[in-house]
């Protein structure tokens, strides 16, 4: 899904919709953002029946569910099956975080040989049953709303939930971090300090935290709509003198497998091979 414009909730609404929160391959950080909502969590519990949320309670009510929130990426055959079952039981399915939206940091394996990794790390690599790639939930099932971020911003999560409960469009703009940067009054670290910054290709949502502390954005919210990674990295190389390591560490982190970033990082590798 591209652009917040396409995303709108208009489902039939029940008195107490049933919510389930699911975990796949992930660090739990995004689910923690939900737990971190403390005060609002009580309000939420008045509006929604939290039927399945292992991180918060051992209570497990069977599906179907009105709303499923999914964290994590698909890295095993079991997970690939489980997400199908969850989709079948869920009227609306929302994914949260970089793992679910693009495969997460564990998608670095997509650029390498996973067998080699397992043989280096595990004493008995034959016990490891894992897929060659880590993939986004939307590669497997239809997703109704993608909330990006690593971790997600809890205010944005509450906005999505409020929008769901009130059957309206979530106010989650898909534009650049630069817009948040300027609205916040930050000084541009790229222009004024010469620091490489991913803000111009990165999805807004964090409130431009890194530039506010004089650091370049490293793209943890993943690509914005209509990103131009090629032009940005060209400028870094020609005007800021960025080396391959800088380019790779920015385009290959928690959103490495997002197409707009992956295509670009593969180009760096290709260019490097050509040089050799």
Partner 1 sequence: MKARSATSFILPSDKLNSLIHSLQQAGYQVVGPVIVDQAIIYDQIKSADDLPQGWTDEQEAGRYRLKRRQDAAYFGFNVGPNSWKKYLQLPRRQVWQAHKTADGIEIEPVNAAITPLAFLGVRSCELHAIAIQDRVFLSGEYHNEDYKQRRQSIFTVAVNCTQAAATCFCTSMNTGPAVSLPCDLEITEIINDNEHYFLLRSGSEKGQLILQQLPVTPATSAHQQQEKTAINQAEKQMSVGPRVFDSSDLQALLYRNYENPLWSDIAQRCLSCANCTMVCPTCFCSSVEDTTDLSGDHAERWEQWDSCFTADFSYIHGGSVRPDTRSRYRQWMTHKLATWHEQFNTSGCVGCGRCIAWCPVGIDITEEIVRFQESDTP
Task: List contacts with ligand SF4 (CB under 6 A).
Answer: 177-178, 181, 186, 188-190, 197, 199-200, 202, 206, 208-211, 217-221
To partner 1, the closest distance from the beta carbon of 182 in angstroms equals 4
Q: Which is nearer to partner 1, 97 or 216 (CB)?
A: 216
- Of 32 and 44, nearer to ligand SF4 (C-beta) is 32
Token pair 């914005």 is found at 224
Residues in contact with partner 1 by CB under 8 A are 2-5, 40, 43-44, 46-47, 158-159, 161-163, 165-166, 168, 171, 173-176, 178-179, 182-183, 185-188, 190-194, 197, 199-201, 214, 225-228, 230-232, 234-235, 239
Determine phi and psi for 37, rounding to 5 degrees.
Answer: -75, -5
Provide, rounded to whole angstroms, the least separation between the CB of residue 104 and ligand SF4: 14
**CB-wise, 77 or 228, nearer to partner 1?**
228
Cβ proximity to partner 1, 32 vs 240, nearer residue: 240
Gyration radius (Cα) of the chain, Å? 20
Beta-sheet strands, E only, within the chain:
18-23, 49-53, 65-71, 90-96, 145-147
Nearest residue to 256 via CA among 230, 219, 228, 208: 219
C-beta of 186: minimal distance to ligand SF4 in Å? 6
- Give the span between the Cα atoms of 17 and 135, in whole angstroms: 29
Residue 256: contacted member of partner 1, ligand SF4, none (CB under 5 to 8 Å, by partner type): none
| Nearer to partner 1 (CB atom), residue 63 or residue 207 | 207
Phi, psi of 44 (to 5 degrees): -60, -40
Give the helix ranges, DSSP H, for 62-153: 77-89, 97-102, 114-121
**First-residue to last-residue Cα distance in the chain:** 38
Query: What is the closest distance, in whole angstroms, from the C-beta atom of residue 253 to ligand SF4 in the complex?
Result: 9
């Amino acid at each position: 899904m591209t652009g917040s414009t396409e995303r709108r909730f208009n489902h039939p609404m029940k008195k107490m919709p049933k919510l389930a929160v699911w975990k796949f391959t992930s660090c739990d950080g995004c689910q923690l953002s939900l737990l971190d909502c403390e005060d609002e969590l009580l309000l939420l519990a008045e509006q929604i029946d939290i039927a399945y949320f292992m991180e918060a309670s051992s209570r497990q009510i069977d599906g179907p569910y009105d709303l499923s929130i999914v964290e994590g990426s698909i890295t095993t055959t079991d997970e690939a099956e489980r997400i199908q079952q969850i989709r079948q039981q869920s009227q609306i399915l929302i994914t949260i975080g970089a793992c679910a939206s693009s495969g997460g940091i564990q998608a670095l394996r997509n650029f390498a040989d996973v067998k080699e990794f397992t043989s280096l790390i595990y004493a008995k690599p034959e016990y490891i049953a894992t897929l060659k790639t880590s993939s986004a939930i939307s590669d497997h099932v239809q997703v109704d709303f993608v909330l990006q971020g690593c971790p997600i911003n809890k205010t944005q999560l509450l906005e999505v939930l409020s929008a769901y409960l009130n059957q309206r469009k979530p106010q989650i703009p898909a534009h650049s971090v630069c817009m948040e940067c300027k609205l916040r009054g930050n000084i541009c670290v790229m222009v004024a300090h010469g620091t490489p910054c991913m803000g111009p290709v990165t999805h807004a949502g964090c409130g431009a935290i890194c530039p506010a502390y004089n650091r370049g954005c490293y793209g943890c919210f993943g690509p914005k709509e209509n990103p131009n990674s090629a032009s940005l990295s060209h400028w870094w190389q020609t005007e800021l003198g960025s080396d391959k390591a800088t380019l790779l560490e920015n385009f290959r982190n928690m959103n490495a497998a997002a197409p707009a970033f992956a295509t670009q990082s593969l180009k760096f590798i290709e260019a490097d091979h050509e040089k050799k």
